[in-house]
Structure formats: C-alpha cells, structure tokens
Amino acid sequence: MNTIWASITSADLGRLADVAVSLQEAGADGIHVDVADGVFVPDLTFGHRTIRALTDVVHIPVEAHLMVSTPEEQLRAAADAGASRVAFHCESTRYPARVASVARNLGVTAGMALNPVSELAALGYLTEGLDFINLLTTEPDLAGERMLEMMAERVRRARAVFGTRLEIQVDGDLSSSNIGPLAQAGARHFVVGRALVNQPDPSAALAALRAAARDVNDEAVQPNFG
C-alpha cells in the first residue's frame, strides 16, 4: 500500500491550518513537516509549535523531518507536539542508534533520513532500531531543488539490501511524472510538496499521484504510522 505525505514547506504560511485541512479532505495520508534549523541545511522553516498547530486541526498523522544539527534536542518537542513519525539525519549525529532509541522510547515511529551523497551503508547496524528510511532525492541547490539522477536505482539498491525490514520513503521534487519509477523500485511512502500542496485541485493531484505510484507488487510493505 502506497502512502502520500503532503509536505507543507511550500504552502502559504498565512493559511497553513486551512491548507492542512484541505489536504486532509483531499485524501492525503499524512502531513510532512520539514523542521530545518538554518545550520544543518541552509533554510530555516518550522518547529514544534507548527507541529502542534497542525495536530490541533487535522486527524491524519503528522510526521517531523528533523533537518537539524542536534536532532536529539528536537525529538521530545516534536513528539510532545503530536508528531507520530520522526525522521532524523544520519549525517547530523555521532550517535544515531541512541537517537533512534530515544525516538522509540518517546512512542514515535523512528526513521532515518539520508542525503543523496550518503551511502546506504551508513545505516549499518541501525536497521533493527528503525522503522523506515527517508531517502532524499534532491539537494538545496538554489535552482528549484530538482530530483537528481539515478534516484530510482538508489531505491532499488536500498530495497535489495534491506528487503522488507525497513519501509522506504522518498522525498524531494516528486510529481506524477516521476513517482512511478520510484514505486517500481520499492518505495512505498512519498513526500510530495509543490505537485500537491500548490495545486488548485488537491484531490485531482492526489488521484494522479496515486495512479502513477500504484503498487506494482503483491507483497507491498504495509505502512506504519506509529
């Protein structure tokens, strides 16, 4: 079963609550919040107060993508604000197993995000302490953050290495025109921003995304919302 997570980074901030509700009504499986600190990545976005504002108005899951230099300092705030899934970056901490353990002890579904430059081997021994991996398919390139080449092959290698032990999420410049190969390669969770959030008809956009990402194998990984 494939799931579509609506990333609200590109949303109209003056209407954020209304946008989130409209995405829920359109049928999004969850809301994805990029928590960026302006240090680990060159942008400064949201924090736990935004997560709380969203969980107060929607009943679908809200996940926090911690694009921060000290994820262990943000985990509890995200969990207390109502996030049911949290992904942190392996590149941001010297002790990723500890961070994953903290996340699980807080009762959230724990994921690790990898930038495109990071090798899948960075996960190493961590697979038993994680529920999913978030493979970034773009970099903050100042040119619209377009999907990099060979991302479907990267997903395919991840699926070959980890089998069904970890769910695979992909994140970055996804649209109905490029989501199909990623689904065929084994991704099951899709974080979609502009191609969904900024569309005049989110329901139609979601339908197009789901059609393009339709499961191609009868043994699809079932989603874990935490």
> Would you please indicate which residues are annotated as catalytic (active-site) residues?
34, 171
DSSP string, 155-219: HHHHHHHHTTSSEEEEESS--TTTHHHHHHHT--EEEE-HHHHT-S-HHHHHHHHHHHT---STT
Residue 208 tokens, joined: 């197009």
Q: At 65, phi and psi to the nearest 5?
A: -100, 105
Closest C-alpha to 151, from 132, 167, 174: 174
Q: Distance (Å, rounded) from C-alpha 122 to C-alpha 89?
A: 11
Query: Which residue in the block uniquely carries the two structure tokens 């997560």?
Result: 51
CB crowding 147-179: b at 16 or more within 10 Å, else e: bbeebbebbbebbeebeeebbbbbbbbbbbebb
> DSSP 3-state assignment of 98?
helix
